[in-house]
Structure formats: C-alpha cells, structure tokens
Amino acid sequence: MAIDYNQQIPNNVSLADNRRLQRALEAWQPKFRNWWTEMGPEGFQAKEVYLRTAVAVDAKGWAHFDYVKMPDYRWGIFLAEPEAGRQVNFGQHKGEPAWQEVPGEYRSTLRRIIVTQGDTEPASVEQQRLLGQTCPSLYDLRNLFQVNVEEGRHLWAMVYLLDAHFGRDGREEAEALLERRSGDVDKPRILGAFNEQTPDWLAFFMFTYFTDRDGKYQLASLAESGFDPLSRSCRFMLTEEAHHMFVGESGVGRVVQRACELMLEHDSGDLRDHGGIPLDLIQRYINFHFSVSIDLFGSELSTNAANYFSGGLKGRFGEAKLDDDHLLRDATYPVMEAYGKGFQNVEHPALNAVNERLRDNYVEDCQRGLNRWNKIIADSGIDFELRLPHRAFNRRIGNFAEIPVTPEGQIIDAAQWQANHDKWLPSSADRVYVSSLMAPVTERGRMANWIAAPARGINRQAIDFEYVKLN
C-alpha cells in the first residue's frame, strides 16, 4: 500500500527520505487500520467529527480543527524540536551527549520501556470502544473521539521508535501491539489497569482523570531520557495528554455539579429517584480508579527503576529542576511500609525509591483536582467532602498488595474487608444504576440529566455546535 508521507502521515522525521522505514510502515499501516476498524469506536466510523489534528509541532500546526471521519484521521509522527547540545542529565552517563541511536547495552531495556508505553495506547481505545453509544452529549462524544484518535497517534509515535531504531525485533513488537486485546484472557494488555472495563461515562471520566494522569507522569519521566528520540516523542505527547486529563477533571466536575444541583432542588442526598449520581457513589468510583492507577507506578522499591535511572533511560518528574546531584548514590527517600496495625515511613536508598517519588508527585497532583471538585460542593452549601483513599487501600502491587486496608488507612482483617467492600468500592448495584443512566443524548446543546453543561465549547465554538455529524 503506497502512502503519501507528507499528506497521510504528517511528520517531522523525514519519513519520505527513509526507504527502510517506509517499507516497515507500509507493512504495519494496513494492520493498524484493520485494528482501528475492529476495535475503534463502534458505530461511528463513518461519522464526521470535529477533531483537532496535529500537522506540525509549532503553535500554528499543533491544533488544526476540522471535520474528519476517524478512519481518515491523519495520524502523524512528531518529535518535539531538538535541543542544541542536549546532554544526559542524570545517572551514570550524566553530562554525556544525548544518544541519537540506541546504546547497545540498553537495547533490550529501552525496547521493553517503549513497548510497555505503546501498549497502553491501543488498550484505552479498546476499553472505550462502546462508550459512544451512550454519550451524554455531542460535546462529550467529540471529546471521547478526540481522546481515542490521539491515543492512536501516540501508538504511531511508539511504533515509529520501534521501527526506526530496533530493526526486526522492533517490527515484531510493533505488530504484537495490534495483537493483544484489553481484557483478553489469552492475550491481555501488559498493565493490569488497561485490562479493566470502562463500562460507563463516569468510569471514563475517572479513567481520563486518574489513569491518564499516570500517563502524564510516565511520559514526563521518559521525556527526561538520555535516548533523545524517545525524549522528544514524549515531550510532544505530553501536549496532547493535557486534553485527556482536562476531559476527566471537567467531566467529573460536571457530574459533581449536577449532583449538587439535584440535591438542592429535591432537598435530598439520595439522587437515585431523580436521575443523578450521588456524591457517595462518586466517592466509591474515586476509590477504585485511584487505587488501580497508583498500582501502575509499580513497587515502592524497584531495582528495575533504579537501573533505568542509573542508565539514564528514565528520570524523575522535572528531573532538570531538582536540586540534587542527579546521581542518587548516597541519597535516601522515605517509603511508607505497614507496621503492626498501622504505617510508618522508612528511609531507603533514593535510587531504589524512584517509583515511589513519582507516585508521590502523582498523588499531590490528583489532590488538586479533588480540591476543585470540593469547591463546587462547598460553593453549593453542601456538607460533603470527596477524598483520595489511603495509598495502601485496594492495592495489588507493592508493599500493600493484598493487605486489607480501609480508605482511611486502617489495617483490618479479611472478614472486615469482605463485609465492607461494597461501602468502599462500586458495588454491582452501583454499576447497574450508573449504567441505567447511560442513555444517549444527541440533540445539539442538550445534556443528559446526570451531568451539567460545560462552561464553554471547543475551539471557541458554542456548546450547541454540531460536534459530531450523526445524520
């Protein structure tokens, strides 16, 4: 299949001049299109959507808006502009020129890092493929599809790195990215959170707030990499990831706002008879998605993370701005551990605690969104506060895996956990109720009863703009 590299694959990596890379992409591209047709948004492949397409990395080309059918979306390959004289800024190679090619000693490790990141991108599209059928508005439907196509573009970015720098192994890994399926028993996605279902729009908003925020921190740490093409790829991806988190934060905020409106209108916190989502149910969704997402950072103490840092492959968040030697040879970092019926912080070598430091950054960031949601509640005069659960709650990985812990951080026994499980996490009845609200609303400017309208439209358009042409 011939590809017009300038038109169909906007890029700043000179694809048209690299015949070897052309052949690799020509073999992969039809398989990607088949995957998108099979696993992309179901029922909307032929619809025109008001989408933002990146056609360059500068301000003028980064956000081009127009109607496009998703299978015709121009998935591009963009690296942030190179930094003159860029060096490796941490680990044992600190001060050396950044690598333009993969160092032989890190070949397998870098490939694994890129594959793991790449695997998350199609996974989220698969998790969300049915959500369009229950959209709360055309505005939200468009935002869902924007997230989907950008995850597709991020997949292209990782495939470019695999094809350009890892030869046959890279090409095989690129094909395997299209063969795994979210939730598949035989060929699941690599990370557990990306095998969870996203059955409703509240789960989608939570996913884009909590799980995409994990993506922000993972991409930011990879943007520090001494392997310059990976760094530049991730730096550009971060500009798009910001929209995904906006969808999540504003989406949950609008659900909270509508809950408050209905509580005041009916003088009741039980909104099930009024078609709203109660605040305590929103809290249980927060508990689930936060706990699943912090597992994505891995174990609190990790030799792999230490090796990634020492090798200059994956840094800390905002590495260049941190005031230390960027070597961590003698530094320590506090790590929470279970102690008796409670918890204590224990100093460990900072090199082994890189994951935990990144998780700390993430938790602080998550709290800022909850502060804004709580302001909506407080401004409504309602006595209720949404909270992040304790980081040991509902964990499957690391120091707290399988330890029964309450959202407040109390260690309990298995029987107590079982008795209170449905008070802390979404129950089957919760999910059935939320699903019962998921009737599509496709009239321009209208919103489902359980969510408030956004404050403004997309790209200075009105809220009642035709964001998706359904007819």
Q: Would the pLDDT of 264 be above 60?
A: yes
pLDDT of residue 346: 98
Q: How far is CA 74 from CA 8, 18, 360, in A?
A: 5, 19, 37
Cβ atoms within 10 Å, residue 89: 19
| Global pTM value | 0.96
Map out the domains of the chain with their CATH numbers. 15-469 (1.10.620.20)
Cβ atoms within 10 Å, residue 405: 22
pLDDT in tens, 136-171: 999 999 999 999 999 999 999 999 999 999 999 999
Q: Angle at CA 259, nearest 5°, toward 253 and 263? A: 145
pLDDT > 70: what percent of the chain? 99
The answer to whether the Cα torsion of 123, 125, 130, 131 is positive or negative is: positive
Average pLDDT across the chain, whole number: 95
Q: Would the pLDDT of 1 be above 60?
A: no
pLDDT in tens, 61-75: 778 899 999 999 989
- Look up residue 339 and give its DSSP letter: E
Distance (Å, whole) CA 199 – CA 203: 7
Contact 368, 375 (CB under 8 A): no
pLDDT in tens, 379-408: 999 999 999 999 999 999 999 998 999 999
Q: How confident is the model at residue 413 (pLDDT cuts 50, 70, 90)?
A: very high
Among 209, 175, 161, 142, smallest CA distance to 369 is for 209
Contacts of 199 (CB under 8 A, 6+ apart): 431, 435
Phi/psi region, residue 460 (left: phi>0; alpha: psi -120 to 50; beta: rest), is left
pLDDT in tens, 301-350: 999 999 999 999 999 999 999 999 999 999 999 999 999 889 999 999 99
Both tokens of 393, joined, read: 């709650």
Contacts of 37 (CB under 8 A, 6+ apart): 45, 71
Q: How confident is the model at residue 9 (pLDDT cuts 50, 70, 90)?
A: confident
- Look up residue 115 and give its DSSP letter: H
pLDDT of residue 16: 87
Distance (Å, whole) CA 386 – CA 390: 13
Q: How confident is the model at residue 3 (pLDDT cuts 50, 70, 90)?
A: low
Contact 297, 358 (CB under 8 A): yes
In this structure, the dihedral spanned by the alpha carbons of residues 357, 360, 362 and 364, taken in order and rounded to 10 degrees, is -140
Distance (Å, whole) CA 421 – CA 56: 49
Contacts of 202 (CB under 8 A, 6+ apart): 252, 255, 277, 282, 285, 434
Q: Which residues pair with 339 in a beta bridge?
A: 342
Q: How far is CA 335 from CA 302, 314, 365, 411, in A?
A: 12, 20, 18, 17
Contacts of 358 (CB under 8 A, 6+ apart): 217, 221, 297, 316, 317
In this structure, the dihedral spanned by the alpha carbons of residues 317, 321, 325 and 329, taken in order and rounded to 10 degrees, is -10
In this structure, the dihedral spanned by the alpha carbons of residues 296, 302, 308 and 311, taken in order and rounded to 10 degrees, is 170
Over the range 219-242, which residues count as b (16 or more CB within 10 Å of their CB) and which as e?
A: bbbbbbbbbbbbbbbbbbbbebbe
